[in-house]
Amino acid sequence: MNVSPKITPVGPSPLALAEMAHAIRFLSIDAILAAGEGHQGVPLGMAEIATTLYARHLKFDPADPTWPDRDRVVLSNGHGSMLLYSLLHLSGYRHISLDAVKRFRELGSPCAGHPEYDPPAGIETTTGPLGQGIANALGMAIAEAALNARFGDGLIDHCTWAFVGDGCLQEGLGQEVIQLAGHLRLNKLTFFWDDNAITDDGSTELSISENVAERFRVAGWHVQEIDGHDIAAIDAAIAAAKADSRPSMIACKTVIAHGVPRLEGQRGGHSGKLIAQDRADMAARFDWVGEIFDIPEAIATAWRETAAHGAKERAAWSQRLGLASDAARDEFARVHTRSLKDGWRETIHAFKERAAREGRAEFSIATSGEIAARLYDVLPEVVTACADLEAPTNHKRQLAAFTARDRAGRYLHCGVREHAMGSLANGIAAHGGVIPLAVTYLPFSDYERPAMRMAALMGLPTIFIFSHDSIGIGKNGPTHQPVEIIASLRAMPNMLVLRPCDAVEAAEAWEIALEHRTGPISLVFARQSLPQLRRDGCRENRSARGAYVLAEAEGGARRVTLLSTGSEVQIALAGRDILQGEGIPTAVVSMPCWSLFEAQDRAYRKAVLGEGCVRVAVEAAVKFGWERWIGEEGGFVGMSGFGASGPADELYRHFGITAEAVAAQARERL
């Protein structure tokens, strides 16, 4: 790989760096003492590591925190948040003012208990649930590699750094990350492992015996083992990490809560309550003259100067951007603002019109793959990750694989690692410039649910795509048949969940997904083939209102409203046929997305649901949550427990999810 011309930072002397590290320590414990709680273990233990990184190696510019080619820094051991806030404050990120630090953990402060995604403040991702941060970092490194392949070293060529605790590496998620990053040889990814031999329970010997460094080596990482308080060693290790062609893990032997005599190296060092005397003792230890929340001017100045080389790098980068072709510059700007290329909507509309016209009875997850295939050509920024289900989910299509040798590939074989897939997709979304899809079966969404929650919490536009959404999968049985999972996703704030009923709604779902930028979206598809229900190819996105009248009642005022989603809408329509045949005016409402419907005005909602009508819902899932739409006394046709192994049509009959049952539920209530 070519290396762009770079300004090599020199930075402060080791002596000054030691003092600068102490500034992190004191700022951190001053904030923790003020808050009355917090985790001092990480900032006190990793102060030298972080200082050396920022002062000597990190490419960053607090004057432009979201500069696309900045290095990314992730504090995966997020409980050590004061390490990050100290770094951001000291190096000059405006949002992390001294006032903000003084209000650590208070309502409204950007210095929350755990780092909360806030790029303008320099916080690249939300961390706290362990392992998520390093998985996000993996995604950032993938995004960097993909963008580097597209735009070249001149525009994108940066590193991703993560601070990592023992917990992150015990989590299965962390282990998935180790395997995958090693496999993909993401050479610009570096972990600093805070090897302090202490977790919340005490000695790491309580729960782990393996040689962690060896574990990384087995996975193909470049591994160095150093004293995490030795600035020269840290400096050399970072340089070696950057030079190596593999991802790097720097195992840093540290003393937890280093500097507080009462707690250092102890279990209580992690987050044991600090007292004023601890600060006094640490001040005595380090001959520290700064008062509370006061950083001696020389040290503060040295910290602010750490940004100088990054500012120069950014200036050089801007120059290179200016020299790039108009097309490259425009495209670079387009993907980094998540603007979509002209033609994307027309592509979806064309698909929609054709689907409505042709009316093929073969809607399924494969349809989503067909739509994706058309969009892949229009939107080169889309990268698709999938957890070893390429064939049955059909979203690879024309994409080449993203591999250790080919960074231009846009299909990421994640292996059977759903959790890492979801979290790295979040990291890609947080990085920007690349739109991530994450594809697996809906029953396995539970494996990546912690990542989905993080996307929702951060407001990241990660697109989650699921197949195998109900008992309709048939003979693979109840492990593979979601019944409660759609409800559990609907319950998640800021997570759009769409379950289209046919190819037209699928196209509409894709249109919504690409336009939605304030949070993640889950597109849920069946595996089995389903008929085409919508024969209107209208340009209006009817799914965007969440629910709409698919078939209005006929022969009089509506008496029954049948509500349904996805594969059961056809059953609702058949139920309507029965009821209409009996002279009961019945409407069918397709509700692909509850939360979008919830967001409509009351008048629209009432018109769709039908005032004074009997309401019956049909969905091959549990009833939980449906009372919102059918009321306490409404009818429900669906599942009351887990599924079974058998042919799909038999299962539908076995569990009583039939048009007859729908009609009966309505009749009972008339």
| Residues between 184 and 203 with contacts to its own copies, criterion CB under 8 A | 199-202
Indicate the residue type of 84.
L
DSSP string, 184-253: HT-TTEEEEEEE-SEETTEEGGGT--S-HHHHHHHTT-EEEEEETT-HHHHHHHHHHHHHSSS-EEEEEE
208 binds its own copies (CB under 8 A): yes
Q: 178 is written with which tokens? A: 């180790």
Q: Are 385 and 436 in contact (CB under 8 A)?
A: yes
166 among annotated binding-site residues: yes
| Residues between 259 and 288 with contacts to its own copies, criterion CB under 8 A | none
| Residues between 610 and 629 with contacts to its own copies, criterion CB under 8 A | 622, 624-625, 627-628
Q: Which of residues 64 and 390 has its CB atom nearest to its own copies in the complex?
A: 390
79 among annotated binding-site residues: yes
Q: Which of residues 169 and 574 has its CB atom nearest to its own copies in the complex?
A: 169
Q: How far is the CB of 572 from its own copies (least distance, A)?
A: 20
Q: Are 248 and 224 in contact (CB under 8 A)?
A: yes
Q: 365 is written with which tokens? A: 């997850």
Q: How far is the CB of 268 from its own copies (least distance, A)?
A: 10
Scanning 588-658, the segments in alpha helix (DSSP H) are 594-598, 602-609, 627-630, 648-654
Q: Report the b/e string of 336-368 with b at 16+ CB within 10 A.
A: bebebeeebbebbbebbbebbeeeeeebbbbbb
Q: Which of 74, 414, 465, 553 contacts its own copies by CB under 8 A?
A: 414
| Residues between 210 and 229 with contacts to its own copies, criterion CB under 8 A | 210-211, 214-215, 218-220
Unique residue bearing structure tokens 């993560």: 162
| Residues between 586 and 605 with contacts to its own copies, criterion CB under 8 A | none
29 among annotated binding-site residues: no
89 binds its own copies (CB under 8 A): no
- In whole angstroms, what is the distance from residue 382 CA to residue 292 CA? 49
475 binds its own copies (CB under 8 A): yes
**Options 2-10, 316-324, 528-536, 634-642: segment touching its own copies (CB under 8 A):** 634-642
Q: Which of residues 390 and 577 has its CB atom nearest to its own copies in the complex?
A: 390
206 binds its own copies (CB under 8 A): yes
- In whole angstroms, what is the distance from residue 163 CA to residue 161 CA? 7
Among 137, 199, 213, 134, which residue's Cα sits nearest to residue 172?
Answer: 134
Q: How far is the CB of 631 from its own copies (least distance, A)?
A: 5
**Options 59-67, 454-462, 527-535, 574-582: segment touching its own copies (CB under 8 A):** 454-462
Over the window 64 to 83, marking each residue x when it contacts its own copies by CB under 8 A and - when it does not, the resulting string is: --------------xx----
- In whole angstroms, what is the distance from residue 46 CA to residue 455 CA? 28
84 among annotated binding-site residues: no
Name the burial class of residue 539, with classes exposed (0-12), middle (13-18) and buried (19+) by CB atoms within 10 angstroms of its CB.
Answer: exposed
70 among annotated binding-site residues: no
166 binds its own copies (CB under 8 A): yes
Q: How far is the CB of 634 from its own copies (least distance, A)?
A: 9
480 among annotated binding-site residues: yes
Indicate the residue type of 507.
A
Residues 6+ apart with CB under 8 A from 377: 398
Q: Are 212 and 205 in contact (CB under 8 A)?
A: no
Q: Which of residues 333 and 416 has its CB atom nearest to its own copies in the complex?
A: 416
- In whole angstroms, what is the distance from residue 14 CA to residue 17 CA? 5
150 binds its own copies (CB under 8 A): no
Per rule CB under 8 A, count of chain residues that contact its own copies: 107
Q: How far is the CB of 640 from its own copies (least distance, A)?
A: 7
114 binds its own copies (CB under 8 A): yes
Unique residue bearing structure tokens 């997904």: 513
Residue 92 per-residue DSSP state: T
Per-residue 3-state assignment (H helix, E strand, C coil) for 358-408 = HCCCCECHHHHHHHHHHHHHHCCCEEEEECCCHHHHCCCCCCCECCCCCCC
Over the window 332 to 361, marking each residue x when it contacts its own copies by CB under 8 A and - when it does not, the resulting string is: ------------------------------
Q: Which of 183, 253, 320, 516 contacts its own copies by CB under 8 A?
A: 183
57 binds its own copies (CB under 8 A): no
Indicate the residue type of 513.
A
Q: Is position 418 annotated as part of the catalytic site?
A: yes
89 among annotated binding-site residues: no
3-state SS class at 498: strand
Q: How far is the CB of 37 from its own copies (least distance, A)?
A: 6
Q: How far is the CB of 136 from its own copies (least distance, A)?
A: 13
**β-strands 382-386, 222-227: how paired?**
unpaired
Indicate the residue type of 517.
R
Q: Which of 42, 180, 523, 544 contacts its own copies by CB under 8 A?
A: 180
158 among annotated binding-site residues: no
- In whole angstroms, what is the distance from residue 273 CA to residue 257 CA? 12
444 among annotated binding-site residues: yes
43 binds its own copies (CB under 8 A): no
| Residues between 368 and 387 with contacts to its own copies, criterion CB under 8 A | 386
Q: How far is the CB of 142 from its own copies (least distance, A)?
A: 14
Over the window 480 to 519, marking each residue x when it contacts its own copies by CB under 8 A and - when it does not, the resulting string is: x--xx--xx-xxxxx-------------------------
Q: How far is the CB of 55 from its own copies (least distance, A)?
A: 29
Q: Which of residues 5 and 493 has its CB atom nearest to its own copies in the complex?
A: 493
The active-site residue, picked from 19, 48, 144, 418, is: 418
468 among annotated binding-site residues: yes
- In whole angstroms, what is the distance from residue 157 CA to residue 155 CA? 7
Chain-centre distance for alpha carbon 268? 32
Q: Are 583 and 524 in contact (CB under 8 A)?
A: no
Q: How far is the CB of 6 from its own copies (least distance, A)?
A: 29
431 among annotated binding-site residues: no
3-state SS class at 661: helix
- Which residues sit in the known binding site for Mg(2+)? 166, 196, 198
Active site residues: 418
